[in-house]
């Protein structure tokens, strides 16, 4: 992937911040697993740092800068990146401000829909990383272009337990499911990721349990929902925006059609 020509004027990130990066970007730090995958897949060797949670690609060999919520600012500064790529939901503004204060450009993404994610990714790769549009992004657009026309189901989508938390309003995850015929029962909640009491949630057709951020599995989670059908799905395909969008529709369609069989209670 060849670098696109740069501009002297700053690019504008998803939060409306002007971000000035060099005409040629050669060193990038990513603080978000999905963005790490997107950048590494598009331009191998461009990343010099990523969080400990950045698991894709599996052979990624870069400096690790702790987690999304507690990045090692000193290490990031020492890596001398041309730009740091972050996300408004995953990363804390106080940490990003420290990087800006150190003179490092910070590009923040904040998509809440599939369409917004596709636009956000193209702008980040073009304006923050100075890259041409990758073929996988074109494939992802084509994958999600066709509307869903099948029957619809209502669902609760927990993302944590102890305490229970679920997907609420205006989230990328909720839009992915909506496009697959799954309507989030908490889509009108005042919060994006509210704490919930299971006995207060209205009846739903389905419970969707992704394996991240909480590692829900057939042995951890479905037992809490009684007779309600439960499906365990790939958190990467449900919550990440990047190259995984190319296969996410097919992967999630298949997983959503196979409810977990909950062991009988004794």
The whole-number pLDDT of residue 261 equals 65
Residues 6 or more apart in contact with residue 73 via CB below 8 angstroms: 95, 98, 99, 102
Residues 6 or more apart in contact with residue 25 via CB below 8 angstroms: 3, 6, 46, 82, 83, 128, 129, 130
Residue 197 three-state SS: coil
Contact 44, 251 (CB under 8 A): no
Q: Among candidates 263, 163, 154, which has minimal Cα distance to 214?
A: 163
Of residues 117 and 264, the one with the higher pLDDT is 117
On the question of pLDDT at 51 being above 90, the answer is yes
Second CATH level (architecture) for the domain 153-256: 3-Layer(aba) Sandwich (3.40)
On the question of pLDDT at 2 being above 60, the answer is no
**Average confidence (pLDDT) over 95-102:** 98
Q: How confident is the model at residue 9 (pLDDT cuts 50, 70, 90)?
A: low
Write down the mean pLDDT value for the chain.
94
Residues 84 and 96: their CA atoms lie apart, in Å, by 9
Of residues 136 and 9, the one with the higher pLDDT is 136
Q: Does pTM top 0.75 for this prediction?
A: yes
**Average confidence (pLDDT) over 213-222:** 97
Q: How many CA atoms lie within 13 A of 112 on its CB side?
A: 11
Residues 109 and 48: their CA atoms lie apart, in Å, by 19
Percent above pLDDT 70 for the chain = 94
The whole-number pLDDT of residue 260 equals 84
The whole-number pLDDT of residue 149 equals 92
Of residues 9 and 131, the one with the higher pLDDT is 131
- Where would I find the beta strands (DSSP E) of the chain? 11-12, 18-19, 28-30, 47-50, 63-64, 83-87, 106-109, 153-156, 158-160, 165-166, 182-184, 206-210, 230-233
What does the domain layout of the chain look like in residue ranges? 11-142, 153-256
Residues 20 and 2: their CA atoms lie apart, in Å, by 20
**Average confidence (pLDDT) over 120-136:** 97
Domains 11-142 and 153-256 fall in the same CATH topology: yes
Of residues 240 and 7, the one with the higher pLDDT is 240
Please list the alpha-helical segments (H only) found in the chain: 33-42, 73-78, 93-101, 114-123, 135-143, 172-178, 235-239, 245-256
Residues 6 or more apart in contact with residue 243 via CB below 8 angstroms: 37, 38, 41, 136, 140
On the question of pLDDT at 265 being above 60, the answer is no
The whole-number pLDDT of residue 10 equals 80
On the question of pLDDT at 266 being above 90, the answer is no
**Average confidence (pLDDT) over 108-129:** 98
On the question of pLDDT at 7 being above 80, the answer is no
**Average confidence (pLDDT) over 200-211:** 96
Chain-centre distance for alpha carbon 71: 17
The whole-number pLDDT of residue 6 equals 46
Domain 11-142 has CATH 3.20.20.70: no
């Amino acid at each position: 992937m060849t670098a696109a020509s740069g501009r002297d004027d700053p690019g504008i990130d998803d939060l409306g911040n002007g971000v000035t990066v060099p005409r040629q970007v050669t060193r990038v730090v990513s603080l978000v697993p999905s963005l790490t995958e997107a950048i590494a897949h598009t331009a191998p060797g461009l990343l010099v740092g990523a969080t400990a949670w950045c698991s894709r690609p599996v052979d990624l060999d870069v400096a690790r800068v702790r987690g999304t919520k507690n990045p090692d600012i000193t290490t990031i500064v020492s890596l001398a990146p041309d730009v740091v790529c972050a996300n408004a939901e995953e990363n804390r503004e106080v940490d990003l401000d420290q990087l800006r204060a150190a003179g490092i450009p910070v590009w923040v993404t904040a998509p809440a829909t599939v369409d917004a994610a596709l636009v956000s990714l193209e702008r980040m790769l073009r304006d923050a990383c100075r890259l041409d549009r990758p073929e996988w992004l074109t494939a992802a657009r084509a994958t999600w272009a066709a509307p869903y026309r099948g029957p619809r189901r209502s669902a609760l989508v927990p993302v944590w337990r102890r305490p229970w938390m679920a997907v609420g309003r205006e989230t990328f995850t909720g839009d992915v499911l909506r496009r697959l015929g799954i309507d989030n029962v908490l889509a009108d909640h005042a919060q994006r990721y509210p704490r919930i009491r299971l006995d207060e949630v209205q009846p739903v057709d389905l419970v969707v349990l992704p394996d991240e951020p909480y590692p829900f599995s057939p042995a951890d989670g479905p037992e809490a929902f009684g007779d309600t059908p439960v499906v365990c799905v790939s958190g990467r395909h449900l919550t990440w925006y990047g190259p995984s969008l190319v296969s996410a529709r097919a992967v999630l369609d298949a997983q959503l059609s196979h409810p977990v069989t909950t062991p009988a209670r004794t």
